[in-house]
Amino acid sequence: MRHHRSLLCRALLTGALLCIAGPLLERATADEQTWAERVAAVVRPADDFSAAEPYEINSGGAATSHKLVNRSSFSQPSANLPFEQQLTFKVGDGIFRKLWVSAPSSTTSSDGLGPLYNSRSCQSCHLKDGRGHPPAAGEAAVSLFLRISVPPRDAQEREALASGKAPVIGEPTYGTQLQNFSLPGIVPEGQMTIATEEVPVTLADGTVVTLQKPTYGVSDLGYGPLDPAVMLSPRLAPPMIGMGLLEAIDQADIDALADPDDADGDGISGRVNRVWDQEAGAVRPGRFGWKAGEPSILQQTAHAAAGDLGLSNRFVPYPGGDCSPRQTACREAPNGEDAAAGEHELPDRMLDLVTFYSRNLAVPARRKVDDPQVLAGKALFYESGCIACHRPKFVTGDVAGRPEHSRQLIWPYTDLLVHDMGEGLADGRPEGFANGREWRTPPLWGLGLTQEVSGPTGYLHDGRARNLLEAVLWHGGEAEAAKQKVVAMTADERAALLAFLESL
Partner 1 sequence: MPRHLVSLVAAGAVTCIGAAVQAAPIEPHAVVETYADIAHAMYGDAHFAAVRLQEAVRTLVAEPSAEHLFAARTAWRQARVPYQQTEVYRFGNPIVDDWEGKVNAWPLDEGLIDYVDNASYGEASEENPLYTANVIASTSLSIGGETVDVTTITPALLADSLQEAGGVEANVATGYHAIEFLLWGQDLHGTGPGAGERPWTDYAKGDACTGGHCDRRGQYLQAATDLLVDDLAWMTGQWAEGGDARQSVLQDPQAGLTAMLTGFGSLSYGEMAGERMKLGLLLNDPEEEHDCFSDNTHNSHYYDVIGMVSVYNGTYTRIDGSKVGGASLAALVAEKAPDLDAEVEAKLARSVTAFSLLKVRAETVEAYDQMLAADNAEGGAVVQAAIDSLIDQTQTIERIVAALELQPIAFEGSESLDNPAAVFQ
Q: Tell which positions 313-372 bind partner 1, by CB under 8 A.
A: 349-350, 365, 369-370
By C-beta, is 130 or 167 nearer to partner 1? 130
Count of residues that bind partner 1 according to CB under 8 A: 83
| 474 in Cβ contact with 452 (< 8 Å) | no
31, 46, 86, 495: which one binds partner 1 (CB under 8 A): 86
By C-beta, is 374 or 389 nearer to partner 1? 374
Nearest to 238 by CA among 148, 129, 381: 129
Can you name the residues that pair with 175 across neighbouring β-strands? 171
By C-beta, is 94 or 185 nearer to partner 1? 94
Site string for partner 1, 378-417 (x = CB under 8 A): -----------------------------xxx--------
User: How many angstroms separate the CA atoms of 494 and 96, rounded?
Assistant: 38
| 249 in Cβ contact with 257 (< 8 Å) | no
Q: Does 198 bind partner 1 (CB under 8 A)?
A: no
Q: Does 136 bind partner 1 (CB under 8 A)?
A: yes
For partner 1, the binding residues in 41-70 under the rule CB under 8 A are: 41-42, 52, 54-58, 61-62, 66-68, 70
Q: Does 229 bind partner 1 (CB under 8 A)?
A: no
Nearest to 178 by CA among 219, 132, 136, 145: 145
For partner 1, the binding residues in 411-470 under the rule CB under 8 A are: 453-456
Nearest to 238 by CA among 418, 358, 139, 350: 358
CB of 47 to partner 1, least distance (A): 17
CB of 90 to partner 1, least distance (A): 3
CB of 384 to partner 1, least distance (A): 26
Span near partner 1 by CB under 8 A; candidates 21-29, 229-237, 306-314, 480-488 = 21-29
Centre a 10 Å sphere on the Cβ of residue 353 and count the other Cβ atoms it contains: 21
For partner 1, the binding residues in 143-182 under the rule CB under 8 A are: 181
User: How many angstroms separate the CA atoms of 160 and 149, rounded?
Assistant: 14
In terms of phi and psi (left: phi > 0; alpha: psi -120 to 50; beta: otherwise), the region of 164 is left
Q: Does 71 bind partner 1 (CB under 8 A)?
A: yes
Q: Does 123 bind partner 1 (CB under 8 A)?
A: yes
User: How many angstroms separate the CA atoms of 442 and 202, rounded?
Assistant: 26
95, 387, 496, 501: which one binds partner 1 (CB under 8 A): 95
Q: Which amino acid is at 127?
A: L
Centre a 10 Å sphere on the Cβ of residue 209 and count the other Cβ atoms it contains: 15
Q: Which element (helix H / strand E) includes 218?
A: strand 208-219
By C-beta, is 90 or 153 nearer to partner 1? 90
User: How many angstroms separate the CA atoms of 452 and 368, rounded?
Assistant: 16
Q: Does 373 bind partner 1 (CB under 8 A)?
A: no
